[in-house]
Every structure is written in C-alpha cells, then in structure tokens.
Amino acid sequence: MFDVLGGDLQITKKSLMTLDEVLKAVDGKLLSNTQESDFYFVDVACDSRKVKKDFIFFPLIGTQDGHDYIPQAIENGASVIFVTDYFADFHNQQIKEYKKAGVAVISVGHTMYALQRLAASYVLKFPSLIRIGITGSSGKTTTKEIAVNVLSQKYSVVYNEGNLNSETGLPLSVFKIRENHQVGIFEMGMNRKGEISELASVLYPQYGIITNIGTAHIGILGSKQNIAEEKKQIFKFFNSKSHGYIPADDDFADFLSESKGEIKKVSQNLISDVKFLGLEGSSFSYKNQNVKFPLCGKYNLKNALSVIALAEDLGLSTEEIKNGLETVKTIFGRNQIVKKDFTFVLDCYNANPDSMKASVEFCSEVECSGKKVFVLADMLELGDESDSAHKEIAELVEKSNVDYVIFFGEQMCKVKDFVLSKKVDGISSRDEKAVEFVASKLREFCSKDDIVLLKGSRGMQLERIVEALN
C-alpha cells in the first residue's frame, strides 16, 4: 500500500493482496528484487491479450505455452509475472529481462494450481461473504442469472460473468470480489473428472444448487452415475450449517441429498396456479402474489424454484423474490426470443440430449399461428453415445408437430432419414457456405408468423444463421 499525493487529495492505492500473502498462498519463490511496498496488482489474467495495467499474468501450459506470451503481457502493463520452476531453471536470460522491466517475477511448480490457490486465498479475505455455487448438466448459467437478479434485490452481489465457470474461469472471477459485496454467486462447470472438487476448493461454497443430472459430458465421464458423483462434489466442503438445493424429481435426488448440511429437494409445491405462456414465459402464484416469470419453458421455471428456495433461506421477502423473478432478462443463446422477419427461439449456447429434448418439446407445445421450423445442429462431446443420442432426437422430431426441419452438421445429418413424415433438409458441413444454405432455405419457406428453433452445441455457432438473414 502506498499514498499518492495530489494537492489536498490523498489517494491510497491498495493491492488486492500483499506480496507476503501471495507467496504464502502459492508456495512461490520471488525471483525479482521487488519490495513489499512496491508490490501492487488490481486483477489477474491468463490471456496476455486481456492483461491491463497492474495485472498479474499467469502463463498456462496447454496446446500452447503461455510463457511465450509474457513479453506481450508486460507490454500491456502486467506488474506481476508468474513462471514455472522449470521455465526459471532453463530460461535465465528471459528472467533477467523480465526483472529489468520492473515487474515482480514469482516462480511456482505449476501455474494453473498456483492460480487456483491464489484465488482460494483471496476468497478467504472476505469471511463475511455469503458464497453460493451453482452446477448441473444444464441450466447453470440461467439459474445463476436468476439468482443474481433475485438476490440483488436485497444484497450487493458479485458473480462470474458469462460462462467463466471453468478451472481457470472461476479463479479469475473471484478476483472481482470487493469489500462491499455481501453475496458471491459463482457457476461451476466441468469438462473432466475432479474439476468440480477443484472449483469447490477455491470457493468453499456455503450454499449450493445442482440444477439436474443429465447427459452433458457423458462422453468424458462415461455414465450419469459418474456425472452425479462429480456434480455432488459442490457439497464437498459443506458443514452442518450449509444449504444445498436439488430438484426433487431428479433420478439422483436421493443420492445427491446424502451430503453434509441441509439438502432440500425442491419441487413445484413452492408455488401454485402455474400457467405456461409459451414464448412469454409463465405465471404462477407465490405466497398469494401473482408472479409473471419472463423466461420460457418448464425447465426455466424449475431453475427458478431452486432460486426461490435459496432466497427464502437468505431472508428475502416475498416482494423482493417476486420483483427479482419478474425482472430477469433473457440471456444470449439460451431460449432467447429474437424477432426478425419471423420469430427465432435462439437456444444455441449449448446442447446435450436433455436440453435438446426439452427445446424440441417446448417448441412443439408452443401455440403458433404460423409454421414451426427446427434447425438442429450437432451435440458435441457425447463420445460413444453420440450416434444413439442423435437418433433419439430425430425420433422425437418425427413425433413432433414441426413443419420443416433442417439438420446442421455431420452427426445430425447421419440421422435425418429417421424423419419420414416432415419436410427435411440437411447439410453435413458447418462452414459459412452451410450457414448461407440454411439461411436461404429459411428465406424460401418462412413468413412473419412462423417460429424457428435454433438448437445446437456452442461449437456449431448457430447464431450465424440469424446474422446471415440480417
């Protein structure tokens, strides 16, 4: 900490953590001659392009070696640079150059682990912060956004933006916590076994929501039981005062409830007089208050129920919960309603068999004065289950009331012959020509009263079709 004097104004600059705190948290070795009084950082990044003045830069090692980008990070304003012990041992000249640049240089065994340990240590600097973790096979981000909107009615809330929920995204996000924050809401995703446990060891959540146990990442984890065991790790550090929330109708509800703390099985019994309003969302009665919930689909209402249970435990009033639910905004690519020449249901941020089924069923049930069109793209990361999962979706489409379906991508095109009673097109590629092909088909077939569902995995980038029609 140091003072900057300007006239009668004294501004105190305070680093997020002291040098001593950082070194202890990461078990690191200081390679530069940096003094405690000169050590200062305001944020953390592991992408050199996102580094700004007074950032810490963590060079991660994956398909690329982040150490190669240290000069760019320094040029962008990094005040602290981490390196691996291995790099320090074999790149003495580079270390000398970094030190000459005036940055603090810290050596650690593993930069990813150091990032996570530093984040965990930073979280502990805020003992009064109410820490909430959210995970599940689908609906994580939507549930997080609902929770943020509801709890913000009473508390100052910090949260991870977008889908920064990974082994790097969550640690980076917690550095947004400040003294004024009362509640932290952090989504936790996974792409491998052990990842939820790692993230829980960063956040140590006192409250946890599991949205569902589905088949997302089943190609990686092998079975729904393995997925449930992994998701359950969000409760790993619970104690008797902790609270967890799981859907009562989930196949793994009993298994998930076998955890420390109070685990609530959340059901629709929290509300009454439920009416689904198609693309307009739903309405229901909550403690004698009529609530208009703007997010469409039964699955989004289920996500809202867990948030209601959480909000009740955190002392929100009926009016605060109602206001929070009614003012939730739609999120890009998650049942986002986009009205152009016709109405798009843009549900293309992610896809797995469960969410694909839910989207197809929802759009089949929606009342529409025009035609219904499905543009369905590949579901990725399903491993050996991919062929059967895509076939199941095709069979569901065959039974639906869709007027026209376009299959987009190699996996979806493999199963288009299972749809016999509908107008069907397909294109196995996903390049820009494929996008224009779909756009041209929609121009030919659709009119203003029609509904078009765009559903597929993030990697398929179906939003390009909307852009192509502009």
Pseudo-torsion of CA 97, 99, 105, 109, nearest 10°?
40
* Band (331; pLDDT cuts 50, 70, 90): confident
Distance, in Å, from the CA atom of 55 to the CA atom of 108, rounded to the nearest integer, reads: 18
Q: Express each pLDDT in 105-130 by its tens digit.
A: 999 999 999 999 999 999 999 999 99
Q: Express each pLDDT in 207-217 by its tens digit.
A: 999 999 987 76
More confident residue, 343 or 11: 343
> Per-residue pLDDT for 220 more than 90?
no
Continuous segment of H or E residues that includes residue 393: helix 386-399
* Band (145; pLDDT cuts 50, 70, 90): very high
Q: What is the pLDDT of residue 231?
A: 95
Eight-state DSSP code of residue 338:
E
Contacts with 121 (C-beta within 8 Å, 6 or more apart), sequence order? 17, 21, 24, 25
> Per-residue pLDDT for 251 more than 90?
yes
Q: What is the mean pLDDT of residues 284-294?
A: 97
> Per-residue pLDDT for 68 more than 90?
yes
Q: What percent of the chain has pLDDT over 70?
A: 97
Question: DSSP 3-state helix, strand, coil percentages of the chain (rounded to 5)?
Answer: 40, 20, 35
Q: What is the pLDDT of residue 463?
A: 94
The DSSP bridge pattern shows strands 243-247 and 207-210 to be parallel
Eight-state DSSP code of residue 370:
S
> Per-residue pLDDT for 85 more than 70?
yes
Dump strand ranges (E) for 136-271: 157-159, 183-187, 207-210, 243-247, 262-266
Q: Express each pLDDT in 225-243 by its tens digit.
A: 999 999 999 999 999 999 9
Distance, in Å, from the CA atom of 287 to the CA atom of 368, rounded to the nearest integer, reads: 32
Q: By C-alpha distance, which of 366, 363, 330, 331 is closest to 349?
A: 331
Contacts with 41 (C-beta within 8 Å, 6 or more apart), sequence order? 15, 16, 17, 54, 55, 56, 79, 80
Asked if domains 126-266+299-316 and 336-469 share a fold, the reply is no
* Band (9; pLDDT cuts 50, 70, 90): very low
- Region of residue 167 (phi > 0: left; psi between -120 and 50: alpha; otherwise: beta): alpha
Q: Express each pLDDT in 45-65 by its tens digit.
A: 999 999 999 999 999 998 899
Looking at every residue in the chain, the average pLDDT score rounds to 93
Q: What is the mean pLDDT of residues 142-153?
A: 97
Distance, in Å, from the CA atom of 229 to the CA atom of 108, rounded to the nearest integer, reads: 31
Q: What is the pLDDT of residue 164?
A: 81
* CATH class of the 126-266+299-316 domain in this structure: alpha beta
**CATH topology classification for 336-469:** Protein-Tyrosine Phosphatase; Chain A (3.90.190)
Q: What is the pLDDT of residue 3?
A: 45
Distance, in Å, from the CA atom of 149 to the CA atom of 145, rounded to the nearest integer, reads: 6
Residue ranges per structural domain of the chain? 2-108, 126-266+299-316, 336-469
Phi then psi for 53, rounded to 5 degrees? Answer: -55, 130
Sign of the torsion formed by the C-alpha atoms of 261, 267, 273 and 274:
positive
* Band (332; pLDDT cuts 50, 70, 90): confident
At residue 213's C-alpha, the angle toward residues 209 and 215, to 5°, is: 140
Q: By C-alpha distance, which of 425, 377, 388 is closest to 404?
A: 425
> Per-residue pLDDT for 74 more than 70?
yes
Distance, in Å, from the CA atom of 256 to the CA atom of 228, rounded to the nearest integer, reads: 7
Pseudo-torsion of CA 384, 138, 171, 153, nearest 10°?
180
Q: What is the mean pLDDT of residues 362-366?
A: 91
CB 151 within 8 A of CB 161: no
Sign of the torsion formed by the C-alpha atoms of 94, 95, 97 and 101:
positive
CB 18 within 8 A of CB 9: no
What's the gap between Cα 217 and its chain centre?
14
Q: What is the pLDDT of residue 12?
A: 60
> Is residue 139 helix, strand or coil?
coil
Q: What percent of the chain has pLDDT over 90?
A: 83
> Per-residue pLDDT for 6 more than 70?
no
> Is residue 394 helix, strand or coil?
helix
Length of the chain: 470
- Tokens of residue 459, six digits: 């990697």
> Per-residue pLDDT for 165 more than 90?
no
Q: By C-alpha distance, which of 356, 279, 371, 333 is closest to 464?
A: 333
Eight-state DSSP code of residue 294:
-
2-108 CATH pick, 3.40.50.800, 3.40.50.2300, 3.40.640.10, 3.40.1390.10: 3.40.1390.10
